[in-house]
Structure 1
Amino acid sequence: MIKAVYFDLDDTLYDQLAPLRSALQAAGFGEVAGDAARLEQLFKQMRRHSDRLWVNHAHGQLSLTELRIERTTASFADMGLHVSPKWAQHLQESYEHEQTAISLRQGVVRLFEQLHEKNIPFGLITNGPVEHQWGKIETLGLRSWIDPHDIYISDGIGLAKPDPEVFRHVHAQTAFLPAQLAYVGDAWHNDVVPSYLAGWRPIWFNGRRRQPDDGESEFAYWECGDMSEVFSLIQSK
């Protein structure tokens, strides 16, 4: 039985595609922003390269600025488009500006209410710089729902997903068994796999209909495409 639930932040509790679309328009790539299929493709590539490069950043081999530039130039290259590092940095600045207007996904507030009503504690585990992630947490109003002690940011704890030690670290702060902890996240490599390896119960928030990475489909997880499904999942298992 699930005793506590933790959430990923980016593209789980809010939709990252919306600020990216606005940033592309502001940065002069309206033709990509206005094409739903190309926008989705670019977004997926940026997430893939970001996850790939985050390990190097966590080990001090790549600065955050370098990571963001490389993920952008590589993602556009995957689509047959060339962008300069200077333009990639400009897009990042536009993207960060648009993130000041993000909002929680539909169904998140009701899910929080349901967990609160059942006295099921919940928290947050997210990769990123502390100040940057806290900015998004404040914008989304999450402090009114989640105690700061239950918010774990990679740069603040010195551990980053996809390292399963992140989840072991958080588990050590609770009074529950690993199998009594659920983690809701959108990324197979960063969220589902490491939480499973740490003994948690992964819930793959897969509204974008991705597929598991090759050779890893045997990992046990629950899957949903909408936040309204999460509470019934943890209650029925």
Structure 2
Amino acid sequence: MVRTVVFDVGETLIDETRIWTRWAGRLGVPALTFLGVLGACAALDRPHRHAFDLVRPGLDVDAEIARWADDDPDGLRENFDADDLYPDVREGLAALHDAGLAVVIAGNQPPQARAALEAMDLPVDAIRTSDEWGVQKPDPGFFAKVAELSGVPAAEIAYVGDRLDNDVLPAADAGMRPILIRRGPWGHLHAERPEAARATVVDSLLELPALLA
């Protein structure tokens, strides 16, 4: 029986379209080009930062983020806010809470992401990021932290994410119930792979309350 549902962030709760479109503008390339290259990275199992190498070879991404902050200190830049939530997020999380399940957000995110998520006043019990834990998915240590935070056995935790490599497979290996949401480049591609058989595949967070009842 699942008692805690834990959610990834990017392309699980947050639609990253605006983030990547702003990056395209920052780099001076057409949005379609940058988004297409990003999708190619997903298809080829390359890290998303490889997209930057392809459109701007030699770019120091961290230095560019710092310059961007100087140029536009009040803008969202590479960050997100409540306008980037997928439409089913608030209702889906609230329905899980109403069903008596604990709801947690824990994903690979930089330090500012926690404050951004907390500002959204979502119906969740806890929010954590890989940055504050000092360990990133798919490292087993990340999922050990998830279990520790949840306070229940791994078998009673469902982990919801959009990727096989970062979410489904390591969560399953940790003894959790993996759920793959089919959205975003990785979600649509990974749902078609044989390894997706290790997970339950959903198209909306609104499917979860009945699924986990």
TM bracket (short chain): 0.7 to 0.9
Q: Deviations over 1:210-233 (max 9, x none)?
A: 13697x627521011222223232
Instruction: State the match for 1:134 in structure 2.
Output: 114
The whole-number CA distance in structure 1 between the counterparts of 2:18 and 2:91 is 21
Corresponding position: 1:108 with 2:99: no
Per-residue deviation, 1:166: 1.6
**Runs of 4+ in structure 1 displaced over 6 angstroms?**
none
CA RMSD of aligned residues (A): 3.0
Instruction: State the match for 2:189 in structure 1.
Output: 210
Q: How does 1:75-114 map to 2 (within 5 A)?
A: 76=54, 81-85=55-59, 90=64, 93=68, 97=77, 99-101=79-81, 102-114=83-95
The whole-number CA distance in structure 1 between the counterparts of 2:39 and 2:150 is 33
Instruction: State the match for 1:12 in structure 2.
Output: 12
TM-score (normalizing by structure 2): 0.78
SS of the residue corresponding to residue 12 of structure 2 reads coil
**Letter of the structure 1 residue corresponding to residue 208 of structure 2:** V
**Contact (CA 8 Å) 1:188, 1:213: kept in 2 or not?**
no
Instruction: State the match for 1:117 in structure 2.
Output: 98
Instruction: State the match for 1:64 in structure 2.
Output: none
Q: Deviations over 1:170-195 (max 9, x none)?
A: 21343433222101111210011110
Instruction: State the match for 1:145 in structure 2.
Output: 123
Q: Deviations over 1:28-53 (max 9, x none)?
A: 21x3x1x3xx45432335565437xx
Matched residue count = 201
Q: How does 1:139-218 map to 2 (within 5 A)?
A: 141=120, 143-147=121-125, 150-208=126-184, 209-211=188-190, 217=195
The whole-number CA distance in structure 1 between the counterparts of 2:62 and 2:130 is 24
Q: Deviations over 1:50-89 (max 9, x none)?
A: 37xxxxxxxxxxxxxxxx5xx3433x2xxxx554416885
Instruction: State the match for 2:72 in structure 1.
Output: none
The whole-number CA distance in structure 1 between the counterparts of 2:34 and 2:204 is 21
- Gaps in structure 1 of 5+ consecutive residues: 52-67
**Letter of the structure 2 residue corresponding to residue 193 of structure 1:** L
TM-score (normalizing by structure 1): 0.71
The whole-number CA distance in structure 2 between the counterparts of 1:73 and 1:160 is 21
Give the 3 Å change call, closer, same or farther, for CA 218–85 of structure 1 in structure 2.
Answer: closer
**Contact (CA 8 Å) 1:24, 1:91: kept in 2 or not?**
no
